[in-house]
Amino acid sequence: MILRYSRPEMAEIWSDENRFRKMLEVEIFAVEAMSKFAAVPQEAVETIKRKAKISVKRINEIELTVKHDVISFLTAVSETVGPEGRFLHLGMTSSDVLDTATGAQLKQATNLLIDETKRLAIIICKLANKYKMTPIMGRTHGVHAEPMTFGLKVSSWYCEILRSLDRLNFALETVSYGKISGAVGTMAHLSPRVEEYVCQKMGLKAEPVSTQIIPRDRHSVYFSILAHVGAALERIAMEIRHLQRTELSEVEEPFTKGQKGSSAMPHKRNPIISENICGLSRVLRGYALTAMENIALWHERDISHSSTERIMLPDASIILHYMLVRMQTLLSGLNVYPENMQVNLDKTKDIIFSGTLLLSLVDKGILRENAYVMVQIVAFDARDNKISIEEACLRNQDIKKHLTVEEIKRNCDVNSQFKNVDYIFKRVFK
């Protein structure tokens, strides 16, 4: 992933240095396990542990000739170890090292994503409670519907982020697997105890049945969940983009000192963080599709999956990590404008209480179909003649037959819409 979207904590996990470090750990734990069964002398294990070193530069140099990354890695490590290097990789295949090391990297990456998601949830929780009872226009199809509160809108984001957290924890469980089972998974040249030992030392579980590789449905779940979390962030970002439009101006992304919004128009303050998040979410969805296509491979393995994974594993993890941190910045510094929310509520006057009037008429014994027509008439009268729906009701004889002046006023009170907000919040923030 390009430096622009890479934060150092996640980039380090997917660096060549960390990848080869994890691969070396797998090899060292394997010889440790084999020494317990007299397959490798204990002295050789101590020498390997003491002398084995990683040189990314040397590994890359060797790969130019041998055209095989694991052989290059083993050759470079053996050069630092000496004759005892012959005990490395006994009975193992490349994917024993690669997949187990990748499982360890995925565990590191997922834990980091979980931590950032928790931080984001705390920020959203505070935002929701701060604006719990702040009225805002609820919109469906982009059109004024009924009033709600900004805190209620944000609490919906909070619930989705909690679900995202659950999904990431499931991803952590799904990908934290390794395998040391040989060329086709039969353990023909290895004791099963080697796999058990290595995986336990790496903080992983052993894949119950592996071929040459760990089945790629595990990785597909990881990418799918990352795409889901990205979509959750996109949902928040999309809403902020809409609410920041000039016509609404209900919220606005933080705009720092010295920041510039446009090379041509000095007045511009654009929702660039939200737009950035929406765009990157598309990349994650694309990776999820490719990961599903990587599940079906020829027989016990081909390498059609590995070329995509070299790109996707670091990129998807780095992208989502960046998005989570960016969203934290956005929401912790979000400018909220309750006065503009009220202005927009007032644009349609009290016509937005048509549903409440409808139910009041039904309560009076009027058939719903007839009540609907009656309220639609006064609503259109209010809209066309630029008067309040309360005024339109008061001059409509059919409405006045069934509702008193006091009942009409009560139905047009915005606070009547929020009587169950406390209940919803208690359900969410229990």
Last residue within a domain, chosen from 287, 309, 342: 342
Tokens encoding 429:
């923030």
User: CA 149 to CA 162: how far, in whole Å?
Assistant: 20
**Predicted confidence band of residue 413 (pLDDT cuts 50, 70, 90):** confident
Answer whether residue 97 shows pLDDT above 90: yes
> Does residue 222 form part of some domain?
yes
Last residue within a domain, chosen from 342, 375, 395: 342
End-to-end CA distance of the chain: give it in Å, rounded: 39
Report the pLDDT value the prediction gives residue 261, as an integer from 0 to 100. Answer: 85
Q: Does residue 183 share a domain with residue 277?
A: yes
Answer whether residue 260 shows pLDDT above 90: no
For residue 397, give the CATH number of its domain. 1.10.40.30
Tokens encoding 94:
């490349």
Closest CA to 288 of 208, 225, 363: 225
Per-residue pLDDT averaged across 295-314, rounded? 95
The identity of residue 301, as a single letter, is: R
Last residue within a domain, chosen from 293, 313, 342: 342
Report the pLDDT value the prediction gives residue 319, as an integer from 0 to 100. Answer: 98
CB 280 within 8 A of CB 5: yes
- Domain residues for the domain of 115 are 3-7+92-252+262-342
> Does residue 146 form part of some domain?
yes
Report the pLDDT value the prediction gives residue 163, as an integer from 0 to 100. Answer: 98
Q: Does residue 186 share a domain with residue 154?
A: yes
Report the pLDDT value the prediction gives residue 348, as an integer from 0 to 100. Answer: 86
Whole-number percent of the chain with pLDDT over 90: 88
Active site residue: 262, 304, 307, 416, which one? 262
Q: pLDDT digits over 144-168, tens only?
A: 999 999 999 999 999 999 999 999 9
Report the pLDDT value the prediction gives residue 263, as an integer from 0 to 100. Answer: 84
How many separate domains does the chain show?
2
Match 């008429």 to its residue by tokens: 361
Answer whether residue 92 shows pLDDT above 90: yes
Q: pLDDT digits over 341-360, tens only?
A: 999 999 988 888 999 999 99
**Predicted confidence band of residue 12 (pLDDT cuts 50, 70, 90):** very high
Q: pLDDT digits over 374-384, tens only?
A: 999 999 999 99
Q: Does residue 305 share a domain with residue 385?
A: no
CB 96 within 8 A of CB 73: no
Q: Does residue 235 share a domain with residue 210?
A: yes
Q: Does residue 336 share a domain with residue 315?
A: yes
Q: Three-state DSSP class for 94?
A: helix
For residue 172, give the CATH number of its domain. 1.20.200.10
205 DSSP β-pair partners: 177
| Residue 141 annotated among the catalytic residues of the structure | yes
| Residue 6 annotated among the catalytic residues of the structure | no
